[in-house]
Amino acid sequence: MPAHRKPPPSPLKTGITHTAIALFTFAGLSAAGVFAIQTLGNAEHATPKRTVGLFTAAPVGPLPLKERMSETSGFNEHQVSGPDTHEDEHTPNLGVADPGAEDMVHVSDDHGATDHETENNAEPDPSVALPKAPLPGMSEPSPQGALPIIAADGRKSFDVYRRPFSNPAGRPTISIVVGGLGLNARVTEAAISELPPDVTLSFVPYARDLQSWVDKARAAGHEVMVELPMEPYDYPNNDTGPYTLLTTANASENVRRLEWLLSRATGYFGVTNYQGAKFATDSRAITPVFEELEERGLAFIHDGSAPRSVFESSANSATLPFTEAARVIDAEPSGGAIDEQLLHLEAIALQRGYALGTGFAFPITIDQLRDWSQTLTSKGYLLAPASALPRTTTAYSLSSDTTQAIH
């Protein structure tokens, strides 16, 4: 007779049994945990908690200018003033593309005031301010506006509008000219308020309300220059404006254009070229312009962008105070490239005793110059206005040994 086999347990009954065991086990462990917490734990740790900082840490140094520009909305393109019949139809090419062009500020006449208003409205330091222009006897009226003259007592704009400077310790000096100012209000404000007073500022003659910018720069201690648009090789495709000095124009026409450019403002000690690689090679075109500048008591600084220029020989012939930059510091507008050019200027100043560099009104240029200038004293250098350089100064190349040492 076969053995009796016990039937397998019911799956349902088995599942219920296992579930019950699990629930009892979980309940027991939970009860033990609660008892342990109540007996041994810290009540403060048992409540939800959120820590809120009442104050945020202040950033170290100012934000980069480009970032500050991008934080502000509602800025419109700044308009440039042009000649009588070209103002609305003729917009000159005023330089290499500005990375912050989309943030250009319109300096409007609509509300009767100018309005270089940005978030930086700090009062200038009166201890470094230069006298407000024009000074008595230093200009004459003309149909275009006031023009600089040599005063009856012999004073020249080069002497009275330059920034005073002394270097009793005889330290190596470095001078910087920042150009292209007056069009982008945010960058112009930053250059005026954030760069040391010994940095020379150069303004575009087509900028609207140029005199207000010059006054503001001088109130902050900066000596200023006005830029002269000069014919590049690819003119007119590269259009530098209706008052560009041209190799094809006769002397009287170029002098007429020069007078318009000089009449845009008062208070500048000299002028500098804007572009002009072609004009810079034509002594016939340059000579009458330089003679006019000398007769009006001004200086000329070559920004270093035209290596084959005859500016120096023409300036010597006209006995015009002349200086040529050794480096364009932001031909490549990046922080690393600018720092390398500034290092070259330091080496030149160490060898020669002085060095001059020029730059454009890029936000990165303003940022790098501001930070770099704070290191000069500790390195044994002195920042000097461009007018403090010798009155006839040519460009300078480093010796091969020094160039290798830099790299």
**Closest C-alpha to 224, from 260, 195, 258, 199:** 199
Contact 275, 234 (CB under 8 A): no
Contact 305, 274 (CB under 8 A): no
Helix, strand, coil shares of the chain as percentages rounded to 5? Answer: 35, 15, 50
As a whole number of angstroms, the distance between CA 178 and CA 303 comes to 10
135-406 in CATH: which number?
3.20.20.370
- Tokens in use for 121? 């409205």
Q: What is the amino acid identity at position 300?
A: F
SS3 of 226, please?
A: strand
> At which residue do the structure tokens 């005199």 appear?
211
Q: Which residue ranges of the chain lie beneath pLDDT 70?
A: 1-20, 22-62, 68-124, 391-407
Overall pTM surpassing 0.85 (yes/no): no
Residue 134: the pLDDT is 97
As a whole number of angstroms, the distance between CA 259 and CA 403 comes to 42
The torsion of the CA quartet 341, 344, 349, 351, rounded to 10 degrees, works out to -160
Residue 140: the pLDDT is 98
How do the domains of the chain map onto residue ranges?
135-406
DSSP class of residue 319 equals T
Residue 73: the pLDDT is 38
Residue 385: the pLDDT is 98
Residue 100: the pLDDT is 42
